[in-house]
Amino acid sequence: MTESVFSIVFLDFDGVTHPEPCYQEGVLCNVDKIAAVLNRYPQIEIVISSSWRMQYTLAELQDFLCEIPPSRIIGVTPSIQKPSADWLPGVVPEFERQWEIETWMKANRPWGTPWIALDDRAQWFAPGCPNLLLTDRTTGFSDADALVLGQMIEERL
């Protein structure tokens, strides 16, 4: 494992950090599993891609993910609702979440920097997106997902 430029993990909440739908007592119940994988790779930075970014500040989001050092949770993706300067009026990009992630990457990282998205919505990404770890929204991030995430990270190091 090298300590070179690494990747960003883009993290959704609903359907990932907890099942969707979820009752109050189950909210964020999978954060420990996610943190157990990510904390093995301190060079990974996390960006929040969840719609929660629209209701909470970055500091609040960092607090929700208390098992991950807050310094590693570095930002949030832009919203497709507020397009970037290169967006063409009247043209709504397909694969909304992937567009938001790629817009963040273009603004913040060199071309080709690896990234991984943890999300439960396949339709928000291009078919066959190799950067997507798709979770089952009824369970959220599982032990099986933890194994896959570790493999995906190792492949990108």
pLDDT (0 to 100) of residue 108? 94
Question: Does pTM surpass 0.75?
Answer: yes
pLDDT (0 to 100) of residue 21? 80
**Residues 29, 14: Cα–Cα separation, whole Å:** 11
pLDDT (0 to 100) of residue 49? 96
**Residues 8, 75: Cα–Cα separation, whole Å:** 10
The pLDDT profile of the chain, 157 residues, written as one tens digit per residue, is: 334 456 899 999 999 999 988 777 778 999 999 999 999 999 999 999 999 999 999 999 999 999 999 999 999 998 876 555 555 555 556 789 999 999 999 999 998 899 999 999 999 999 999 999 999 999 999 999 999 999 999 998 7
What is the set of domains in the chain, with CATH numbers? 8-156 (3.40.50)
